[in-house]
A and B are shown apart, each in its own frame.
Chain A
Amino acid sequence: MSDSVTPPSDAYSEFVPTESEPFSVRHVGHLYRRMAFGATPEDLDRFVGKSPAETVDQLLGYDPDDDPLDAQLQQIIGLISLNRIENVQDWWFFRMMNSPRPAQERVALFWHNHFATSAGKVDQPILMHNQIELFRKRGLGSFRELLVAVTRDPAMLIWLDGRYNRKGKPNENYGREVMELFTLGIGNYTENDVKQLARAFTGWSLKGTEASFDPKQFDDGSKEIFGQHGTFNDEQAVGLLLTQPAAPRFIARSLLKEFVHPHPTEEQVNHYAGLVVAHDWEIKPVLQEMLTSRLFYSEWAYRAKIKSPVDIVIGGAKGLPGAKPTTSFLRDATAKMGQNLLYPPTVKGWDGEESWINANTVLLRFNFGLALAEQRGQDFAARADLDAWLKKHDLKSADDIINHFTRLYLDGRISGEANAKLQQYVANDPSKKPKPFELTPISVSTKIRGILHLIMSMPEFQLA
């Protein structure tokens, strides 16, 4: 089957839909899973039949300084304190669930994993909040500017000990990881580069919750980095890092792995690395080309990734308008599945893909599907009104309902065999008499919930 599926030959040309190859549920669902944690029924209705260019424009075309959730959040923040880490996590989950611009949160999550700062060491929650805000605001801008900002970010100064890195008393932690994990990858620098680079980052420490630069603590002596000599400061050091040929390839590979395919080819990496350089490290135009390419919509990339716990939880919940899971429920569920937001397991972040999946997390994924279908207890502030839903979408038969939810969650791409299982479930009757499906309050509350649970327990649902 997909063993033989290879990247398309016209990978980098834009996918412009035609009558014979329209922008279908499969395409919109795919784009939304990768860029927005999953689609709502409204998202599908809005963009099916349109084009990748238009949809990607809509997803990425936000003004990061204008915040549509601001008023709502201000109200909530009046009640909670961002000095508790759970509240910062909840603040972010609220955004992911409710933002009209989910791609902004998705991009921030990418950078959170890239820079992998953990509240386990950064013991001032407000600083974690501020770092996520940095990713939300600058995530699609210049990576050069972002990296300078991250280098001086208070949470990062704590996380990789930059605050202790002083003239004559270097701390190499940030100097090493900025190359190994953020820009170049192992093998592209020497131990001497680590030592010298650390000197260029000296001078920064914390004053309260702000970063502050003390020229007396900055090592202004001459350094040799990548064979070049100078008195380099942090901004110049970042500039030097990004002139290394490994740097654009590193970022291109990260973007491809995150949004397109876990195993990009070297040729693809080189292609997008070229774009990174051509766009002078601006992320948005690179991502725009990536997400409108034939490569992105190819069979090769389709269902090639494994959903992260955040994808499972937010994507699952967003499909059920009206259901209001509490943020603490979403937070605990993702943490148990192996993605405790703001607590990446190591400086490398989450490994993702196959590493999400093991016996324990598979069962937790299924059990989350059940909890979402049941919407019981204190985990939901409001339940989806399935009766109203059935009326609104004109769902009358078992077929209607199965088709509706498999379209929503699986782009309608489900095997005949699996479909037959779902039919069998709906038709099941304790008296063993198969009978046609009837919409009664009982059938709504049990059979539909059962169908949702079964769909979310399918291997296909685990794929992004």
Chain B
Amino acid sequence: MHTSRRQLLQVGLGSAAAIALSSSVPNFVSQFAYANAAANADISNDNVLVVVQLTGGNDGLNTVIPYRSDEYHKGRPYIAIKDKYHTLSDQLALNPGMGAFKGLFDEGRLAVVNGCGYPDPNRSHFRSMEIWQTAETVKAKPDGWLGHYIDHCLRGTDNPLKGVNVGSQLPQALVSDLAPVPCIQSLDDFRVRLDGAASQDVKLEEEIIRQLNEVRNQTPSLQFLSRQATNAIITADNLRKLQAYKPDVTYPYGLGKQLQLIAQLIDANMGTRIFYCQIGGFDTHANQPSQHQYQLNQVSESIAAFYKDLAAKGHGEKVAVMCFSEFGRRVAQNNSNGTDHGTAAPMFVVGGKVKGGLYGAYPSLSDLDSGDLKYTTDFRRVYATLLDKWLNVNSAEVLGNRFEPMMFL
């Protein structure tokens, strides 16, 4: 009944289907060698990366504020932030909503990487997001940078939870060639429910659902669906063992609850190396200040709670959180007290082993490119740093090019 791996390869599925069958073909993939020998013996091999995506184009200038800059205040007469900010240096300060990040900064656990961008910036949400998620600025690419990492650097295991997206939609960053990365919204929903009244049939019902979704020599779309279902069922089997989780902090709603689920999965030691979650609402074309401050407050409070919870549980040093958005916004405000799509913006990295501080030059506000900031730091240098110095793989193999690592790790 099962199709041979060769047949699956012939229909263009790579070994994805084979991995989907991993419960019936134990350790099949263990035959693959690791793609990358661990680059550095000093780096722990169970470090975890959590990516927090700020969707919509976060206004970097009102996030890390050049509060002394005349150009900043001139370009933004109604929306420049004039007080209540949290000072990071004699030039830069965090948005008033980011008190919790200020705390992390003072503890030396928050790295602020200024001026992140890429050449020939694109102002379309989708194209720019694609660029960030694939780490490829020129041509379109089907798989994501983290999907690529999972495919090529975590081959030695058939764990279905190598990466986890918390949310309902898989971001392109996690699109892989091999086993699909699961999306989990809540553990309660993540199981195959069965008819409680038909007790004599439940075992068979469950077994038949598995069998109906076995990957066979079908059309590509049926194989895709079967592969996803089989993976989901195997993943659900794994998650069934999870115990109830008692966080050491109270998480905010929204992003906070996503991070709480991630903390639970980290604490349960499921072997997941990559987590991904996102928060929307950053496309602030109009009436920006209060909304933007609220969003940044969510981000800052949620990540700080997450870090505190993990630290209390003894995982603070094995987790790094990276925050990014698809672009920043123009220097000059628009006439709706908002900002339009722009270019370079800061990224954040938080973690127990992160060397906190300011990295990357803050872009000049007088030397602009048709109203937009010129980036100073290729965002892929941040990716490279995390790959080389945190996930302990050769970043050039994942990113396709060598990007100079930074010093925040």
Cβ of B336 < 8 Å from any Cβ of A? yes
Query: Which residue of chain B lies nearest to A371 when distances are taken between CB atoms in the complex?
Result: B193
If A166-B335, A358-B180, A359-B235 touch, whether A454 touches B212 (CB-CB below 8 Å) is: yes
Cβ of A457 < 8 Å from any Cβ of B? yes
Measured between alpha carbons, how far is A360 from B208 in the docked complex, in Å?
19
Measured between alpha carbons, how far is A172 from B197 in the docked complex, in Å?
58
Measured between alpha carbons, how far is A168 from B283 in the docked complex, in Å?
22
Cβ of A331 < 8 Å from any Cβ of B? no
If A358-B180, A363-B191 touch, whether A347 touches B212 (CB-CB below 8 Å) is: no
Which residue among A186, A348, A357 has the maximum number of chain B CB atoms within 10 Å of its CB?
A357
Cβ of B29 < 8 Å from any Cβ of A? no
Partner of B220, one of A2, A164, A172: A2
Cβ of A445 < 8 Å from any Cβ of B? yes
- Contact between B285 and A161, CB atoms less than 8 A apart: yes
Measured between alpha carbons, how far is A364 from B1 in the docked complex, in Å?
27
If A360-B183, A362-B229, A364-B189 touch, whether A421 touches B335 (CB-CB below 8 Å) is: no
- Contact between A424 and B194, CB atoms less than 8 A apart: no
Cβ of B224 < 8 Å from any Cβ of A? yes
- Contact between A171 and B198, CB atoms less than 8 A apart: no
- Contact between B228 and A180, CB atoms less than 8 A apart: no
- Contact between B226 and A459, CB atoms less than 8 A apart: yes
Q: Mark B181-195, 1 if CB is under 8 A from A, else 0.
A: 111110001111111
How many Å from the CB of B59 to the closest CB on chain A?
14
How many Å from the CB of A403 to the closest CB on chain B?
17
Cβ of B157 < 8 Å from any Cβ of A? no
Q: Which stretch (B101-109, B120-128, B305-313, B352-360) binds chain A?
A: B120-128
Measured between alpha carbons, how far is A2 from B194 in the docked complex, in Å?
33
- Contact between B335 and A164, CB atoms less than 8 A apart: yes
Q: Mark A226-237, 1 if CB is under 8 A from B, else 0.
A: 000000000000
Cβ of A90 < 8 Å from any Cβ of B? no
List chain A residues, Cβ under 8 A from B183. 358-361
- Contact between B226 and A171, CB atoms less than 8 A apart: no
Cβ of A46 < 8 Å from any Cβ of B? no
Partner of B224, one of A336, A357, A460: A357
Measured between alpha carbons, how far is A3 from B123 in the docked complex, in Å?
37
How many Å from the CB of B251 to the closest CB on chain A?
20
Chain A interface residue bracket vs B: 35 or more
Cβ of B217 < 8 Å from any Cβ of A? yes
Cβ of B236 < 8 Å from any Cβ of A? yes
List chain A residues, Cβ under 8 A from B193. 366-367, 370
Cβ of B243 < 8 Å from any Cβ of A? no
Measured between alpha carbons, how far is A424 from B205 in the docked complex, in Å?
10
How many Å from the CB of B265 to the closest CB on chain A?
13
Measured between alpha carbons, how far is A68 from B374 in the docked complex, in Å?
58
List chain A residues, Cβ under 8 A from B219. 1-3, 303
Measured between alpha carbons, how far is A171 from B340 in the docked complex, in Å?
8
- Contact between B228 and A449, CB atoms less than 8 A apart: no
- Contact between B192 and A363, CB atoms less than 8 A apart: yes
- Contact between A454 and B222, CB atoms less than 8 A apart: no
If A345-B169, A425-B204 touch, whether A363 touches B190 (CB-CB below 8 Å) is: yes
Which residue among A2, A303, A447 has the maximum number of chain B CB atoms within 10 Å of its CB?
A2
Cβ of A374 < 8 Å from any Cβ of B? yes
Cβ of B334 < 8 Å from any Cβ of A? yes
Cβ of A84 < 8 Å from any Cβ of B? no
Cβ of A315 < 8 Å from any Cβ of B? no
List chain A residues, Cβ under 8 A from B229. 362, 366, 457, 459
Query: Which residue of chain A lies nearest to B126 when distances are taken between CB atoms in the complex?
Result: A348
Cβ of B200 < 8 Å from any Cβ of A? yes
- Contact between B222 and A362, CB atoms less than 8 A apart: no
Query: Which residue of chain B lies nearest to A414 when distances are taken between CB atoms in the complex?
Result: B212
Partner of A360, one of B12, B124, B168, B192: B168
List chain A residues, Cβ under 8 A from B181. 358
Measured between alpha carbons, how far is A306 from B341 in the docked complex, in Å?
33
List chain B residues, Cβ under 8 A from A186. 124, 126-127
Query: Which residue of chain B lies nearest to A360 when distances are taken between CB atoms in the complex?
Result: B183
Measured between alpha carbons, how far is A367 from B195 in the docked complex, in Å?
10
Q: Mark B32-66, 1 if CB is under 8 A from A, else 0.
A: 00000000000000000000000100000000000
Measured between alpha carbons, how far is A178 from B330 in the docked complex, in Å?
21
Measured between alpha carbons, how far is A303 from B1 in the docked complex, in Å?
23
Docked complex: A399-456 residues within 8 A CB-CB of B: 417-418, 421-422, 424-425, 428-430, 445-447, 449-450, 453-454
How many Å from the CB of B146 to the closest CB on chain A?
15
Cβ of B242 < 8 Å from any Cβ of A? no
- Contact between A360 and B185, CB atoms less than 8 A apart: yes
Partner of B221, one of A303, A338, A355: A303
Docked complex: A210-257 residues within 8 A CB-CB of B: none
Query: Which residue of chain A lies nearest to B197 when distances are taken between CB atoms in the complex?
Result: A446
Cβ of B338 < 8 Å from any Cβ of A? yes
Measured between alpha carbons, how far is A29 from B217 in the docked complex, in Å?
24
List chain A residues, Cβ under 8 A from B198. 446-447, 449-450
- Contact between B212 and A458, CB atoms less than 8 A apart: yes
How many Å from the CB of A296 to the closest CB on chain B?
17
List chain B residues, Cβ under 8 A from A357. 224-225, 228
- Contact between A338 and B169, CB atoms less than 8 A apart: yes
If A2-B220, A446-B201, A453-B205 touch, whether A347 touches B192 (CB-CB below 8 Å) is: no
- Contact between B182 and A360, CB atoms less than 8 A apart: yes
Measured between alpha carbons, how far is A462 from B1 in the docked complex, in Å?
22
- Contact between B126 and A306, CB atoms less than 8 A apart: no
Cβ of B88 < 8 Å from any Cβ of A? no
Measured between alpha carbons, how far is A363 from B210 in the docked complex, in Å?
12
Docked complex: A367-387 residues within 8 A CB-CB of B: 367, 370, 373-374
Cβ of B170 < 8 Å from any Cβ of A? yes
Measured between alpha carbons, how far is A428 from B201 in the docked complex, in Å?
7
List chain B residues, Cβ under 8 A from A397. none
- Contact between A336 and B180, CB atoms less than 8 A apart: no
Measured between alpha carbons, how far is A172 from B124 in the docked complex, in Å?
12
Cross-chain pairs A/B with CB under 8 angstroms, 27 sampled: A2-B221, A3-B11, A3-B12, A3-B219, A3-B220, A161-B338, A169-B336, A170-B334, A176-B341, A186-B126, A186-B127, A304-B221, A337-B168, A338-B169, A346-B55, A348-B126, A359-B183, A359-B184, A359-B235, A360-B168, A360-B184, A362-B232, A366-B192, A367-B193, A373-B195, A430-B200, A457-B209
Instruction: List the 10 closest pairs (A to B, CB-CB), nearest first.
Output: A169-B335, A164-B336, A359-B182, A359-B232, A459-B225, A2-B219, A430-B200, A358-B183, A446-B198, A338-B168
Given A2-B221, A364-B189, A374-B195; 7 other pairs, CB 8 A cutoff = A173-B340, A358-B180, A360-B185, A373-B195, A425-B201, A446-B198, A457-B212
